[in-house]
Amino acid sequence: MDYIIHILVEAGIIILGGVIFKSNIKIKGIFSAIIAAIVIALLNASLGNVLEFIFGPVNFITLGLAGLLINAFMLKVADWILPGLKIDGFLYAILLSLMISAGNYLFL
């Protein structure tokens, strides 16, 4: 049950990011946001753990900012995989990653 709530909260944050950054983050609909949240969760569970292990010392030195960049990279990979999600530029992936991290902290 916790996974479903986590996916729905993350999908809501992705939709909110699409509303705030209309011209740079495009979501085709609620279903696309839910699929994007599922794909991002799967990417973080697989590729994200490998990158966290490799960049662990850098993440320690930068006080977690490298983790934010890793999550932004996961968002760009999801953008590349999914046709319903379009993120223009790495800066907006970083901003959306920051929104997702803040939302996970506040709501979960």
At 34-68, the pLDDT tens digits run: 999 999 999 988 988 888 888 888 888 988 888 88
3-class DSSP state for residue 86? strand
Number of domains in the chain: 1
- In the prediction, which pLDDT does 2 show? 83
Q: Are 24 and 106 in contact (CB under 8 A)?
A: no
For 78, the domain range is 2-107
Q: What is the pLDDT of residues 62-102, one digit of tens each?
A: 888 888 898 999 999 999 999 989 999 999 999 999 999 99
pTM of the predicted model as reported, rounded to 2 decimal places: 0.88
- Secondary structure (DSSP) of 38-78: HHHHHHIIIIIHHHHHHTHHHHHHTTTHHHHHHHHHHHHHH
pLDDT above 90 for 3: no
